[in-house]
Amino acid sequence: MKRILLILLVSCSCSMAWAQKEYETPYSTKSLAGQNVSEVEATTSGGNVSVESVAAGQEKVDVFIWPSNRNKGASVSKEEIQKRLDEYYDLSVEVAGNKLTATAKPKRQNMNWKNGLSISFRIYTNKNIATHLTTSGGNIDLKAIAGQQRVTTSGGNINIDNVKGKLKGVTSGGNIDVKDSDDDIDLTTSGGNIEANNCTGKVELSTSGGDLKLVNLNGDIKATTSGGNVRANDIKGDLTAHTSGGNVDMAGLACNLTTGTSGGDIKVAITTAGKFIKIGNSSGKVELQLPAGKGYDMDLSADKIKADDLGNFKGKIDENEINGQVNGGGTQVKVNANSGKLVLTFK
């Protein structure tokens, strides 16, 4: 019995590996070599879309097609896929002028899902390219391109790697990962997490329910989440980051800062103070670490304040308020912890 089970297991594994290999092979490929494509518009209802720059002469479009229910172990021949494609879908990959258009969409709205196909595009182009990419349920990836990018997915993830220029991306439920990119970045998800790493310029990030992770950013950074946590490390420039219900944890900041939460705790460590630091909290704890020996204009309030020795201080100080100047004044530090506790340290 064990031998039979082992044989069945190996057989299933081989079948799944073969099926996976089959679906990793392009269903079709269209060469773009020698064509001066400067704009890409791609639309698919259920698959993924990716755009990546390659060396001259290697430009192409790979089309991948597999049954929508492939995760349930379905095995479908290429002939059957072609039959479904002809009967139920409109698929086209065309170049007109300098524009590449790749489209995959069902011919009718109420199609039997058992006949459904997932159609993905992997597009390899020159570096300087403008894109407009849309998918109803798949992921969108951009890598090593420059120009104006617009990407939208209803349920997939967005991955951005080494993209320069003006970028706007929206996903209704997926995660967003952006790294090594710059200039003008605007990314939104309704329910996923956002991670931004090693980006510069104008960066706007928004999620309705996920966490924010910000690492090594430099520029005008604005990040908001309605219910998640905010983590930030090694930030320069201007940082505005808010959450309605999560915690805020920031370190290695050398920037102007505006941050707050309505329901969590806040922990901030400043390495180089900018022109201002503004922190607000409704009821949670606030921990603020500032560089020692610098000048500050303090306006602090909380249910209870615990502070290191302020040294050369002039102004008003008691257990729930500090208002005055440290070392003759300098960076504006405004903290309102409301009914929470404030802990102030210098290092």
Mean pLDDT of 2-23: 40
CA distances from 204 to 167, 169, 212, 235, 239 (A): 10, 11, 12, 14, 10
pLDDT of residue 227: 87
Q: Are 13 and 5 in contact (CB under 8 A)?
A: no
Task: Dump pLDDT digits (tens) for 216-275.
Answer: 999 999 999 998 999 999 999 999 999 998 999 999 999 999 999 998 999 999 999 999
Between 158 and 13, residue with greater pLDDT: 158
pLDDT of residue 70: 60
pLDDT of residue 44: 96
Which amino acid is present at 63? V
Q: How far is residue 290's CA from residue 347's CA, in Å, rounded to a whole number?
A: 6
User: In sequence order, what are the residues at sequence separation of 6 or more whose Cβ sits closer than 8 angstroms to the Cβ of residue 122?
Assistant: 26, 50, 52, 61, 62, 64
Mean pLDDT of 194-202: 98
Q: Are 331 and 276 in contact (CB under 8 A)?
A: yes
Q: Indicate the length of the chain as a whole number.
A: 347
pLDDT at 73 over 70: no
Q: How many CB atoms lie within 10 A of CB 71?
A: 8
CA distances from 18 to 13, 21, 122, 179 (A): 8, 5, 21, 34
pLDDT of residue 16: 37
Residue 130, Cα to own-chain centre: how many angstroms?
20
- Percent of the chain at pLDDT exceeding 70: 91
Q: Which of the residue ranges 7-21, 24-38, 244-258, 261-275 would you say has the lowest mean pLDDT? A: 7-21
Q: How far is residue 273's CA from residue 43's CA, in Å, rounded to a whole number?
A: 46
pLDDT at 112 over 90: no
pLDDT of residue 110: 75
60-67 and 117-125 strand pairing: antiparallel
Q: For residue 74, what pLDDT band results from cuts at 50, 70 and 90?
A: low
Q: For residue 37, what pLDDT band results from cuts at 50, 70 and 90?
A: very high
Q: For residue 142, what pLDDT band results from cuts at 50, 70 and 90?
A: very high
pLDDT at 6 over 80: no
Joined tokens for residue 185: 């970045």
For the entire predicted model, the pTM comes to 0.91
pLDDT of residue 300: 98
pLDDT of residue 10: 37
Q: What DSSP element (H or E) covers 7?
A: helix 2-24
